[in-house]
């Protein structure tokens, strides 16, 4: 059943219960090979932090790229669970994973070249990057993300969420909102000067953060550049005509960190009373004339006015903020299956990075 032990050539992974087989190159991880083949493998961070890519090794030899015990429990390890994003193959393997049924119907990702058409500063640390692609990207859903690289400059791709619903983009264009991460390679390069005209490569679409079919009240919470996929989702709700009550709580430090306010106003106009945008500032000076809410965006979940147990939540932004929002929503009575999120992991969240 198994091939010969080899470190050099590609190895085959047989995936059950879908019955698919994929080839995994010697330098590729299992998740990357599966996503490149268009398999709807659950995932988020791709750096061994979130645990969403976990699957069961039924048979065969693997090489873990990191210690799975940072993320997986003792029982999961006992049961043969592994993290696909941290796994290289050392032999033919058999793997059990439940593929995402909706994602299975989506187009497989594709790598497409393009050029930065313009880059516009939205706040002191967030840049809107518009890219004109050489050809259209396969259809994506609002909320999904792509991988961006700059050939010859930054070859290792970084993930960025599409900042607009597909119907709001010009054909063959995509946009991302990119926050400067201090000492971050890609974002320091992008923010250093106007990079319009530079060639880039965009691979996608990826991810399973998209609007679920439901008219349940929708509570969106985002911080920083996490606004991007939420804006795309809201544009989709707005384009379809608001069939549900929607509240978007946006956490920022000061008024200087607020952006897309005109987009939010436009969505509110179309919402005809169904949509509220609530910015919450955590570090606005006491002396300022800001008369909106202050504190952490998750604090306001304890306020009256949200029917938390009967709502769906869509969360996006820094991992710490999402974790506290999930805790607050669970305490408020929301069931886990109605909480959808994308955590913006970066290399500092890599499994073991801080160990």
Ligand X SMILES: Cc1cc2nc3c(=O)[nH]c(=O)nc-3n(C[C@H](O)[C@H](O)[C@H](O)COP(=O)(O)OP(=O)(O)OC[C@H]3O[C@@H](n4cnc5c(N)ncnc54)[C@H](O)[C@@H]3O)c2cc1C
CB closer to ligand FES out of 53 and 252: 53
d(CA 324, CA 228): 20
145 sits near ligand X (criterion: CB under 6 A): yes
CB of 48 to ligand FES, least distance (A): 5
52 binds ligand FES (CB under 6 A): yes
Pick from 85, 122, 131, 186: which binds ligand FES (CB under 6 A)? 85
Nearer to ligand FES, 45 or 103 (CB): 45
Which of 55/230 has CB closer to ligand X? Answer: 230
Site for ligand FES in 32-51 (CB under 6 A): 43-46, 48-51
Nearest to 207 by CA among 144, 138, 164, 159: 144
Q: What CA–CA distance (Å, rounded) separates 121 from 125?
A: 8
Supply the minimum distance, in Å, between the C-beta of residue 185 and ligand X: 4
Contact 48, 350 (CB under 8 A): yes
- Rounded Cα distance between 2 and 12, Å, is 9
Cα within 13 Å of Cα(330), Cβ side: 9
130 is an interface residue for ligand FES by CB under 6 A? no
Residue 164 CA to residue 167 CA, distance in Å, equals: 8
Q: Which is nearer to ligand X, 56 or 110 (CB)?
A: 110
CA distance 139 to 129: 19
Number of residues that bind ligand FES (CB under 6 A): 13
C-beta separation of 95 from 56 below 8 A: yes
Tell me, residue by residue from 211 to 250, as one string, x for binding to ligand X by CB under 6 A and - for no binding. Answer: --------------x--x----------------------
Pick the stretch among 82-90, 261-269, 326-334, 341-349 that binds ligand X (CB under 6 A). 341-349
CA atoms within 13 A on the CB side of 263: 20
The interface partner of residue 43, options being ligand FES, ligand X, none and the CB cut-off 5 to 8 Å by kind, is ligand FES
- The two tokens of residue 139 are 């259809």
For residues 68 and 205, give the distance between their C-alpha atoms in angstroms, rounded to a whole number. 27
Q: How far is CA 246 from CA 314, 323, 332, in A?
A: 11, 21, 17
Query: Does 17 sit behind a cis peptide bond, omega within 30 degrees of 0 on the bond before it?
Result: yes
Stretch that binds ligand X, among 99-107, 182-190, 259-267, 270-278 (CB under 6 A): 182-190
Of the candidate residues 158, 195, 245, 268, the single one contacting ligand X (CB under 6 A): 158
Contacts with ligand X by CB under 6 A: the residue count is: 29
In whole angstroms, give the CA distance from residue 53 to residue 116. 31
**Residue among 15, 34, 62, 83 that touches ligand FES (CB under 6 A):** 83
Residues in contact with ligand X by CB under 6 A are: 44-45, 145, 158-161, 176-179, 181-187, 207, 225, 228, 342, 344-348, 350, 353
């Amino acid at each position: 059943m198994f091939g010969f032990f080899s470190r050099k050539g590609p190895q085959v992974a047989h995936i059950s219960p879908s019955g698919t087989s994929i080839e995994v190159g010697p330098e590729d991880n299992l998740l990357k090979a599966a996503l490149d083949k268009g398999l709807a493998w659950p995932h988020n961070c791709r750096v061994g932090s979130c645990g969403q890519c976990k699957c069961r090794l039924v048979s065969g030899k693997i090489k873990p790229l990191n210690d799975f015990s940072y993320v997986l429990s003792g029982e999961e390890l006992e049961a043969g669970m592994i993290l696909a994003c941290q796994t290289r193959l050392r032999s033919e393997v058999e793997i059990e994973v439940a593929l995402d049924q909706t994602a299975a119907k989506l187009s497989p990702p594709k790598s497409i070249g393009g050029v930065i058409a313009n880059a516009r500063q939205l706040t002191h640390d967030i840049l809107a990057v518009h890219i004109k692609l050489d050809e259209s990207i396969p259809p994506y859903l609002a909320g999904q993300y792509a991988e961006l690289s700059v050939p010859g400059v930054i070859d290792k791709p970084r993930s960025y969420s599409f900042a607009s619903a597909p119907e709001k983009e010009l054909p063959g264009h995509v946009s991302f909102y990119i926050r400067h991460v201090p000492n971050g390679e890609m974002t320091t390069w992008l923010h250093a000067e106007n990079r319009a005209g530079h060639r880039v490569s965009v691979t996608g679409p990826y991810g399973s953060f998209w609007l679920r079919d439901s008219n349940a009240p929708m509570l969106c919470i985002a911080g920083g550049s996490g606004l991007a996929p939420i804006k795309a989702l809201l544009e989709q709700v707005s384009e379809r005509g608001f069939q549900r009550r929607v509240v978007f709580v946006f956490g920022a430090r000061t008024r200087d960190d607020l952006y897309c306010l005109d987009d939010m106003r436009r969505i509110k106009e179309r919402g005809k009373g169904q949509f509220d945008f609530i910015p919450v500032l955590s570090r606005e000076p006491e002396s300022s004339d800001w008369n909106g809410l202050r504190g952490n965006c998750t604090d306001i979940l304890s306020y009256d006015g949200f029917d938390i147990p009967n709502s769906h939540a869509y969360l996006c932004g820094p991992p710490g903020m999402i974790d506290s929002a999930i805790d607050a929503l669970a305490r408020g009575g929301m069931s886990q299956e109605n909480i959808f999120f994308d955590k913006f992991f970066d290399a500092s969240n890599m499994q073991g990075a801080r160990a």
